[in-house]
Structure 1
Amino acid sequence: HMDEGVKKRLETIVESKNLTMEKIYGQKPVSVDEMWAWCEHYAKVFGPYICDVGQYLAEADEAGKKIMFEAQLGALRDIDFGIYPYTSSSNTIGAYAPIGAGIPGHKLNLSIGIMKAYSSCVGEGPFTAELAMTEEEKDVLREHGHEYGAATGRPRRVGPFDAVASR
């Protein structure tokens, strides 16, 4: 069961979001009671799966269990080592996986990199691989690789495999 502190936070969030709903989008305000009922429903559904991830992983590590991390993005897009300002908001280097997962002292024993057989890029900035293909070739690759933004459907930039960047 969720406590009153959570309900107070929900009231504050709903009040703030309703300003946007009404003043910007011209929509009816969201009901705190409806949102509270929604939260209670999904708290029951997902409650058993919610935990302190850092603690969960630390205990798994201490018990000798294997932990697998998954990351996305790639060469030149890392927030620390990428081509600023055309970077991601996260670290894409394997050694950062334990830090992002909440177990910064965890030592990686094995790193396996899996790459596509071609390059893709979202957003602006240098992307030299795409210069090696005609627009028609890019369209074929984009279509076969389903290279469209998951949320926006926007076509992604594509090019051949970049051996230098991938190294």
Structure 2
Amino acid sequence: MKERCRNVWLAVSGLVILKDGRWLVVKKKYGGLKGMWSLPAGFVKYDETVDKAIVREVLEETGIHTSVAGLIGVRSGVIRNEISDNMLIFRLTPLSFDIRAQEEELYEAKFEDPHLLMQEGNHSVLLDQLLSYKNESMQQMLDEMNPGNQFEYTSYKLFL
């Protein structure tokens, strides 16, 4: 199993939208999006479900507490024909509003009008695509299910 999944990455990203339409965006200090506006994101840990991972990542990066509203979509690519790089994109509801940017990883975090971000031009391609996002296309999370004790799941979620 280890060899088969060694070069498969699973990450999560979260679109947090305020009632006034502003998005929570971050400017990273590292990686391919260094210095650009993007969504809070990070890798899923071995002991968590994807929904728990995105809530954790947003909190760690921005100090904003959230709850999962649903799944927007999936981004998947292959890097240098070596690594399967996959990201689940969630819609999140903010539960707090006082931003505390994680200084080790971020230059800045803020709530911003997405149209102003597009005019600025210093943002990820994903943000461009998310401008056409509609709540109706979001997959809802079904929780507290058990597909059978034979699988020995300690947590199981379904997004439909």
Q: TM-score under structure 2 normalisation?
A: 0.22
Structure number having the greater strand percentage: 2
Q: TM-score under structure 1 normalisation?
A: 0.21
Question: Could you say which structure has the larger radius of gyration?
Answer: 1
Bigger RCO of structures 1 and 2 (CA < 8 A, at least 6 apart): 2
Structure number having the greater helix percentage: 1
